[in-house]
Structure 1
Amino acid sequence: MAKSKKECRQYSVDYLKFGFIPSSSDKRLPMCLLCNKVLSNDAMKPSKLEDHPRRCHPVKTGKDLKYFQTLKDKLQKRPTVDRMFASTSQKNDDGLQYNISLRIAKSGKPHNIGEKLILPAVEEVLKTVLHKPASDIIKRIPLSNNTVQRGIDEMGYDIESFLCNYLQTTPFSIQLDESTLPEIHEELLFAKTLTTDTKGKSIFYVLKDYFMEKPILLSNIISVATNGTPAMFGRYGGFISYVKQNVPGVLAIHCVIHQQHLVAKNLNGRLHESLRLVINAVNQIQSNALNFAQLCKENDENFHRLLLYTEVRWLSKGLCLTRFFALFKTVLEFLDAKDPILKENLIKWKPDIAYLTDLFTKFNEVNLQLQETDVILQEELIGISTNEELKVQFRNGYQQFWLQKDIPVTYPVLWNTARKFLIAFPSLYLVERGFSAVANLLTKKKKQTGYH
């Protein structure tokens, strides 16, 4: 005998007085407005529906139809994921596009990462976690390569305009460096191409022309941080000398990351001779690099080549010396037939070479630590000893102390001196980081299709 077909009960609007509405996932199932619990279809009876609030919500027993109608209206007006995305305005879509473009710019990644990685990741989240169709939402987020670049350019122009307007009336400090990358034009706040040469005079007039274009007064510059190259710090033809001709009171700061240039150029005769021997050995071995590499392999060395020394790269001395000393025995073996005199001199000066290696290794460690974002160089301010009231305020922090509104008025001369140190950049870290990010993109990503 065939089984009788199970009866499927339908929802009735009269059930609202018991506190139930049809479930949004299945209209044949009742859902309690008080606890949002969905009951089975068998409970779609007045007696069972009336029994649920009496057992589970005794405090709410006796509520009238108007009360449950209010709960129903609130539930229907409650935002859902679908409604939130459906109600998103074009303005919000544009804001999202700019926010994502800003993150791409800060990360230093190629602009096409938006459509290649970010949008597919968002689509996967919507489908996997929220179980929502993502195609319509993804189409509303413009993240193509050209769109991202255009958004970054627009934000860059806006920031530059705002900052230049601010600098027209405010004293400030600058970081200045030069790069040999010809493709860099707009990745920094101010990056210009040197069309003729890289002399200090040319660099100064590029800066001056930019300031005249904005317009910003050169006299607003109170300090300049740069490296120690002749083009920057040359006494007569360096960039700083031209700045001081126009702004006599400007404070020139030698980048602390490049400070060991000053030490290396003033080594005593003994250490300088040790460094000269190392450089001669490195240059001689480089002309026979393949033979030296083969010898390193035979000696089971961790490295198969020496590092070149150059005056331009600020880490080169330390890296060159460290690698040289690590391969010292192999270097002596190689020079035994090539240059016995140089070999004997290296043996003689080995203790000094070891000392020099340790010295420049320390320089490198300090320099790399100074590049950390969270490191802040603070100048110790002393000399406030007569004003007891100011001494109390000084204990709360020197920055807050000097930035009081009364200080520039009461101590104008002292303030003009102190603000140079408060606003000055101690290094070229920010501009160096900008160059490094762009250089990474140009060297590793330039072969990607559509990359800008």
Structure 2
Amino acid sequence: MKSLIPSDRAEEINENNANDLKEHETNEDNGNLKREQDVEQGFPKITEFYVGGHEKKCRQYSLDYLKFGFIASPSNQHLPMCLICEKVFSNDAMKPSKMDDHLSRVHADKKSKPFHGIMANNGSSFFQALKEKLDKRPSIRSMFASSSIKDDDGLRASYNISLLTAKSGKPHTIGEQLILPAISEVLNNILHKPAHDILKRIPLSKNTVQRRIDEMGRDVENILCKFLQTNRFSLQLDESTLPGNEALLLGYVRFIKDENMCQELLFATYLETDTRGESIFQAVEHFFTDKAIPWKNIVSVATDGAPSMVGRHRGFIAHLKRQLPDVLVIHCVIHRQHLVAKKLSPRLHNLYNM
């Protein structure tokens, strides 16, 4: 196919393309030479990565840039920041020539001074002193972090004191009535510190203490139920009638954990209707279903000898054996001892009561 471009014009185009290619190679060689010189002078190499399929160069910060008054931005280590005006520049400005140009144009009064010779009060250079001052300046993040740590300490103390209150069985009002005044006396008279700022970070009102105890109780229950979901255990049940004619069902579990025999209170629930074996079984079944504890993990069950528990047809054990035919049923040893003790001779009975 014959070309439509005249021969003289085609030669001119080819000559221009050759010149452009030569100029591009010359610029690339100069750039490589400049990068090698920067590396020899202590400046870092340029990191190359790809953004959106295009090659982009990212310059890294060097400690030598501090002599131009620049540090890496605290928010982005790839961006330079002027120590004097605290202005952040793009990564393209991470060049000694551009940093020196900014120092000469914007901070000409600082440029005329030999910073390497002028020392601050602590013996460091001028820009080093500015950098240390900037590092020590409190930021919004650091102030919130410090406040958060203090609040966490007060919250932890509130939970610990609430736990001690629950273990001692004292009223929940003891926190405000006794514990906080006692802490105030110790701080004022022994440590000689103002107690107001510390006490206001420890909430110990009656409702707060009750809420803390309920939260810790639910957490302990969840941990125990999660363990019982994957481990075998023994169950002990006891039904009692309170003075207000309310029927209370207590459930205990005994299991092996870390090669130690452990016993914990699993639940305490009211029997809403009656104390028949079917009602007791429904209460236990509802708890096990709600906590996702499988019946098959029950190895044995201990109860007293009441008909509602051990009845052959309608007792709790009869309903349980329909779920677990091979479950081991044990008459509570302590209950049997109590039954035997009732028929002791008067002499042994007095000894038993001592």
Provide TM-score, normalisation by structure 1: 0.39
Richer in strand (by share): 2
Richer in helix (by share): 1
Between 1 and 2, higher relative CO (CA 8 Å, sep ≥ 6) is seen in: 1
Provide TM-score, normalisation by structure 2: 0.49
Instruction: Please say which structure displays the higher CA radius of gyration.
Output: 2
